[in-house]
Amino acid sequence: EVQLVESGGGLVQPGGSLRLSCAVSGFTFSDHYMDWVRQAPGKGLEWVGRSRNRAESYSTGYAPSLRGRFTISRDDSKDSLYLQMNRLKTEDTAVYYCTRSDATGYSVYWGRGTLVTVSS
């Protein structure tokens, strides 16, 4: 059974940093593309970024509005995906979902999400 479990969310002040983790199981992590998608309270879904698979050299892509502040990485030895978020803004407040995605781009499996609150 495919499982994705996010962690690392919490309250952080504006300008601060936070690293989210996504622990996966039930599939060969290195074979798959992984995405982060977020959802602000009461709002819609927003794609954050992607980590491609080993065959694509784990290359990454980001939403243009987030490029430069957010960084995605992965550790295949730990079956884990990470999202490093720097210079956080109040508008980054959201539930952050980790997803396992098809290479073409849609998200097949989703974690339950972790809430990040940016507030002073």
Partner 1 sequence: DIQMTQSPSTLSASVGDRVTITCRASQSISSWLAWYQQKPGKAPNLLIYKASSLESGVPSRFSGSGSGTEFTLTISSLQPDDFATYYCQQYDYDYTFGQGTKLEIK
Binding interface with partner 1 (CB under 8 A): 35, 44-47, 50, 61, 63-64, 97, 102, 104-108, 110-113
Cα–Cα distance, 48 to 92 (Å, whole number) = 11
Note whether 20 and 88 are within 8 A (CB).
Answer: no
Q: Which is nearer to partner 1, 77 or 104 (CB)?
A: 104
Sign of CA dihedral 67, 71, 76, 78: negative
At position 44, the amino acid (one-letter code) is: G
Closest distance between partner 1 and the C-beta of residue 66, in Å?
11
Cα–Cα distance, 15 to 103 (Å, whole number) = 33
Q: Which is nearer to partner 1, 80 or 107 (CB)?
A: 107
Closest distance between partner 1 and the C-beta of residue 14, in Å?
26
Q: Which is nearer to partner 1, 42 or 77 (CB)?
A: 42
Closest distance between partner 1 and the C-beta of residue 6, in Å?
10
Closest distance between partner 1 and the C-beta of residue 77, in Å?
26
65: left (phi over 0), alpha (psi -120 to 50) or beta: alpha
Q: Which is nearer to partner 1, 33 or 82 (CB)?
A: 33
